[in-house]
Amino acid sequence: MTLAPFTKPYAEPERAAAAARHHQWLTEHAKPLRQPALLTARPNSLTFERIEGRSVRPDDLPRVAALLGHAHGAAWASDLRSASLDTPHHFRDGTTFDDYLGPRKRALRRRHKQGYLPNKTALHAMLGLLESTAQGPCAFYKDSNLRNFIVTSKQDIVVVDTDDLSLAPMGYDLAKLIATLHLTYGPLTDRAVTNVLLAYNAAALRHDARLGTTDRNQLDSSLALHAVLTAPYVGRNGYRYRLPLRFSHRGAS
């Protein structure tokens, strides 16, 4: 049986056009990722192939981590090796997607105003942590929460909701996936996270010897940032567990 396609509406034509460009960019530069086919693009909507399946679970994490490492390595080798984390990335048609630092500085300041960072000292500490993560080869960030991957009945992994892309350091998007699994299912063990990072690095390394160097300190720094950035969503969308501000899996068994 052929499934009916899925049409996603957009309030503004610019949003629909940007989402279509991001889909095309991933198709061209992150070939390891399978996305639903874009069937029709209209000014205020995009129509995609419909994919049936379930969201990612903790036991899927090693496979998804390897897929992300493979995709990030391919994108770096194809288009991101000259990108800078503090500068928006330009498409060939002159449009861009966001840099890494600017949007996250604004988001951290919003979290401070919302009360998720208790004082300016905490805000400045998180801004400093953000700056410290802005190093190394560029990857892309596509908001890798567990619902943005679909595992089909054939165990294929399909990535969805790629409307918004930005630059990010290697491992940052992997940290978002680990964070959302923690929020949904509870903490992962230290061994599980280490094995996931090894799978990610091994996949990225296939594309260049300069890749595959993300370490646990870098990953834990990204997790600390995600702890603040995801704080408003605890108690919503299936997020039942809170991420500690200084997030670490150290000491878990």
pLDDT in tens, 121-168: 999 999 999 999 999 999 999 999 999 999 999 999 999 998 989 999
pLDDT attached to residue 250: 39
pLDDT attached to residue 208: 96
* DSSP letter (8 states) at residue 86: T
Q: Give the whole-angstrom CA distance, residue 96 versus residue 54.
A: 32
Q: What is the pTM (predicted TM-score) of this model?
A: 0.92
pLDDT attached to residue 96: 79
pLDDT attached to residue 13: 94
pLDDT attached to residue 137: 95
pLDDT attached to residue 89: 87
From the list 27, 35, 62, 36, the residue with the least C-alpha distance to 203 is: 62
Is residue 74 within 8 Å of residue 170, measured between CB atoms? no
pLDDT attached to residue 212: 92
pLDDT attached to residue 220: 94
From the list 63, 54, 35, the residue with the least C-alpha distance to 153 is: 54
Q: Consecutive 10-residue runs of the chain (253 residues): their mean pLDDT? A: 87 93 93 96 96 96 97 96 90 78 96 94 95 95 94 95 93 97 95 96 96 95 95 91 62 34
From the list 142, 172, 183, 162, the residue with the least C-alpha distance to 58 is: 183
- Beta strands at 6-9 and 45-48: parallel, antiparallel or unpaired: antiparallel
Other beta carbons less than 10 A from residue 175's beta carbon: 28
pLDDT attached to residue 185: 96
Domain parsing of the chain, residue ranges: 52-233
Domain 52-233 has CATH 3.40.640.10: no
